[in-house]
Amino acid sequence: MRIALFATCIVDAMYPRTAQATVSILERLGHEVVFPAGQACCGQMHVNSGYLKEAVPVVANHVDAFDTEEYDVAVAPSGSCVASVKHQHPMVARSCGDTALETRAAAVGARTYELSELLVDVLGVTDAGAQLGSYFPHRVTYHPSCHGMRLLRLGDRQSRLLRTVAGIDLVDLPEADQCCGFGGTFSIKNADVSSAMLEDKAANIRTTGAELCTGGDASCLMHIGGGLSRQGSNVTTLHLAEILASTMGAPASVTGDVHVSTGKATR
């Protein structure tokens, strides 16, 4: 299968390893990964902040980049951005009266998947350790991000994958379904409430005794990780793609620089 990677702007600019890990996982499964060069951002920040007019060119750019026959399905390592592509893009196109864009946006949305969704539903991954060689000998807790949970209904796909990683010690996060308080510009406009939410999330993470917290959205992880870091905690955050990509031969390090194999591992 030819799979188009939608890296998302935050992963592209801030967490390239998450994108590299995604590529690595898909290639290990024998698929070809392409990167539509015109892609930039899903525009969710604009839409969710009320800047619909400013969102239009961002959405149009995404649709232009992904409305091609060059791939079979698209994937992004982010529940939130995929939810935006699926649910918001047609709405944004409608709001500016562009019905052609609306139709194309809906078609792009229909073949865009969140990473765990693609792995579980389309590519048939049931055992990450066996099928991907995933190995991650660390105590980990998992935060299911709101948009993956409630807009995409990912259910337990992400945690099921994590559970099958060899060597992992996955511990339940108390009040896992509670929002971390990120919410895009919410964390700036309502910084006090956001901080209060983050405080509780961080406290719950610390009670698990995990070395790190993983999840499927780099933005939430940046928020949670930024809070833990400010509090002087040693607990860090790591995207689940990087845990799945970690192998015995090329383990992801959780303390220093992370080295992830982007090559084909033994399957």
Partner 1 sequence: MSTFLGMPSLPVFGSGNLHAAESFPKAAHRELGNAQLRANLGHATHTIRDKRLQVVSELPDWEQLRDAGSAIKESVMARLPELLEQFEQNFTARGGVIHWARDASEANEIVAGLIRDTGETEVVKVKSMATQEIGLNEYLEEQGIAAFETDLAELIVQLDHDKPSHILVPAIHKNRTEIRDIFLREMPGADPELTDNPAVLAMAARAHLRRKFLTAKVAVSGANFALADSGTLAVVESEGNGRMCLTLPETLITVMGVEKLLPSWQDLEVFMQLLPRSSTGERMNPYTSLWTGVTEGDGPQNVHLVLLDNGRSAALADEMGRSALHCIRCSACMNVCPVYERTGGHAYGSTYPGPIGAILSPLLTGIESEENSSLPYASSLCGACYDACPVKINIPDILVHLRSVDVDSQRGKKKLPSQMDVGMSAASWALSSGKRLGLLERGLPLGRLAAGRDKKIKKLPGIAAGWTQSRDIPAPPAQSFRNWWAKERQGAEQHGGKTQDTTQNEETGA
CA atoms within 13 A on the CB side of 257: 2
HSE value, Cβ hemisphere, 13 Å, CA-based, for 20: 13
Which segment (17-25, 119-127, 165-173, 208-216) binds partner 1 by CB under 8 A? 17-25
Beta strands in 206-260 (DSSP E): 212-215, 236-239
Nearest approach, Cβ of residue 88 and partner 1 (Å):
8
For 138, counting Cβ atoms within 10 Å of its Cβ (0-12 exposed, 13-18 middle, 19+ buried), the class is buried
Residue among 2, 13, 121, 167 that touches partner 1 (CB under 8 A): 13
DSSP at 154:
-
Q: Which of 57, 137, 167, 209 binds partner 1 (CB under 8 A)?
A: 57
d(CA 236, CA 3): 30
**Which of 3, 4, 11, 210 touches partner 1 by CB under 8 A?**
11
Stretch binding partner 1 (CB under 8 A), from 98-106, 156-164, 178-186, 207-215: 178-186
Question: If binding is defined by CB under 8 A, does position 215 make contact with partner 1?
Answer: no
Residues 6+ apart with CB under 8 A from 154: 79, 114, 116, 117, 144, 148, 216
- Least separation in angstroms between residue 42's CB and partner 1 is 9
Q: Which of residues 182-201 bind partner 1 (CB under 8 A)?
A: 182-199
Nearer to partner 1, 37 or 124 (CB): 37
Least distance from partner 1 to the Cβ atom of residue 67, Å:
14
User: How far is C-alpha 197 from the chain's CA centre?
Assistant: 21
| Site for partner 1 contains 102 (CB under 8 A) | no
Site string for partner 1, 148-177 (x = CB under 8 A): -xxx-------------------------x
The single-letter DSSP state of residue 88 is: I
Instruction: State which of positions 225-264 bind partner 1 (CB under 8 A).
Output: 225-227, 229-230, 250, 257-264
User: Under the criterion CB under 8 A, does residue 16 sit at the interface with partner 1?
Assistant: yes
DSSP secondary structure code for residue 4 in this structure? E
Tokens 């935060």, located at residue: 143
Q: Which is nearer to partner 1, 69 or 192 (CB)?
A: 192
